[in-house]
């Protein structure tokens, strides 16, 4: 059994909250391949032209190699 991990980095986006952006991006990655852990490395946001707040998070995702 390997004791190594691969690390990928993704950006999650939500108009609801930073937490929702994190949840969405981690669940999406987990559907592709099992996620072992994740780390939020950056949070930011912007206001769209329509005046809505958009939350953006950069997440490192660790996956155990088989």
Q: What's the pLDDT tens digit per position in 2-60? A: 689 999 999 999 999 999 999 999 999 999 999 999 999 999 999 999 999 999 999 99
Beta-strand runs (E) in the chain? 5-14, 37-47, 53-64
The per-residue pLDDT for 1 is 55
Give the Cα separation of 3 and 32 in Å (integer): 20
Instruction: Kindly list the distances between the CA atom of residue 8 and the CA atoms of 15, 41, 43, 56, 58, in Å, as whole numbers in the listed order.
Output: 23, 12, 17, 17, 10
Question: What CATH number is attached to the domain comprising 11?
Answer: 3.30.1660.10
The per-residue pLDDT for 2 is 63
R_g of the chain, CA atoms, integer Å: 14
- Total domain count, the chain: 1
The per-residue pLDDT for 21 is 98
Domain that holds residue 22: 5-64
């Amino acid at each position: 059994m390997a004791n190594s991990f691969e690390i990928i980095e993704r950006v999650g986006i939500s108009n609801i909250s930073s937490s929702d952006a994190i949840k969405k991006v981690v669940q999406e990655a987990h559907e592709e391949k099992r996620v072992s852990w994740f780390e939020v490395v950056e949070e930011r946001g912007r206001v769209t032209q329509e005046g809505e707040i958009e939350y953006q998070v950069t997440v490192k995702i660790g996956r155990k190699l088989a």
